[in-house]
Amino acid sequence: MAPMRTATLELLERANLPSEQALALAQAIELEVSSQREAMVSRSDFLDLRGEFRSELTPLKADVVQLKADVVQLKADVAQLKADVVQLKVDVAQLKVDVAQLKVDVAQLKVDVQQLKVDVAQLKAEVAELKADVAGLKRDFAQMRSDLHEWKSEIRVELHGVKAELVRWVFTVMLGQTAVLLGGGYFILSRLIT
Q: Rounded to the nearest 10 degrees, what angle do helices 120-193 and 43-115 cross at?
A: 170
Burial class (CB in 10 A: 0-12, 13-18, 19+), 71: middle
The pLDDT confidence band at residue 98, using thresholds 50, 70 and 90, is very high
Q: What is the pLDDT of residue 64?
A: 83
Distances (CA, A) of 168 to 33, 54, 57, 158, 184: 49, 22, 17, 15, 24
Long-range contacts of 48-55, Cβ-Cβ distance < 8 Å, separation of 24 or more: 49/184, 49/187, 53/180, 53/184
Q: Does residue 4 register a pLDDT over 60? A: no
Query: Which residues does 126 contact at the CB level (< 8 Å), separation at least 6?
Result: 109
Q: Does residue 94 register a pLDDT over 90? A: yes
Q: Model confidence over 29-75: pLDDT tens digits? A: 877 777 776 666 667 766 777 777 777 777 878 888 898 899 899 99
Distances (CA, A) of 132 to 48, 92, 111, 125, 146: 81, 18, 21, 11, 21
Q: Are 91 and 81 in contact (CB under 8 A)?
A: no
Domain edges within the chain: 1-38, 39-193
> pLDDT above 90 covers what percent of the chain?
18
Residue type, 133: D
Taking the whole predicted model, whether its pTM rises above 0.85 is answered as no
Q: What is the pLDDT of residue 42?
A: 66
Q: Model confidence over 123-182: pLDDT tens digits? A: 678 788 888 888 888 898 889 888 888 888 888 888 888 888 899 999 999 999 999 999
Q: What is the pLDDT of residue 16?
A: 76
Q: What mean pLDDT value characterizes the chain?
A: 82
How many angstroms separate the CA atoms of 70 and 76, rounded?
10
Element (DSSP H or E) covering residue 18: none
